[in-house]
Amino acid sequence: MNEHRRQILQMLSEGKISADEAERLISAFEEPAAAKSPENGSKGATARPKYLRVQVDSEDDGGHDGPTRVNVRVPMQLLRAGVKLAYLIPAAALQKANLAMHEKGIPVDLTQIKPENLEDLVEQLSDLSVDVDQKDANTKVKVRVFCE
């Protein structure tokens, strides 16, 4: 029996509060504890997403020809496996890529990026959500990238 419940029952036995009030107080103390337990609600928040979805809706020429919809669903497992391809990149190729990027003014050292870092990056994609909404005179494009 926890401390709060003991105090409430003591107040009830001393006649300071009624049985109804005691019941309400006990339930008020129990509700936040129940909300914190993993069986109630927090399970969904920790669930790992299974797919990365890319949706593109576009309308050309004012939509006379109807919208074009593109819907791509990529399993997250495929992304995780894909980043492991970084294991297979030879060191010489990384050096060449570094040189090319430095020539373009991008100071990134690819040899410092480890496959573990890329795997962490994929894990963090679960919080990713990108919405792009572009409207021109003739085109209307809407792009959504999210995990589900």
Partner 1 sequence: MIPFVAVVSLRNQDSRTFRLWIPLFLVWLLLLPVVILLSPFIFIACLMCRVSPFRGVTVVWQIFNALTDSQVEVEHRSAGMSFHIL
For Cα atoms 76, 112, 88, give the angle at the middle one, nearest 5 degrees.
55
Stretch that binds partner 1, among 11-19, 24-32, 36-44, 88-96 (CB under 8 A): 88-96
User: Nearest to residue 73, comparing CAs of 57, 56, 58, 86?
Assistant: 56
Euclidean distance between CA atoms 85 and 113, whole angstroms: 13
From residue 46, alpha-carbon distances to 41, 51, 119, 147 in Å are 10, 15, 18, 13
* Cβ at position 77, least distance to partner 1 in Å: 4
Among 24, 36, 43, 69, binds partner 1 (CB under 8 A): 69
* Cβ at position 117, least distance to partner 1 in Å: 17
Among 75, 95, 99, 123, binds partner 1 (CB under 8 A): 75
Binding site for partner 1 (CB under 8 A): 50-51, 65-75, 77-78, 80-82, 84-85, 87-88, 90-92
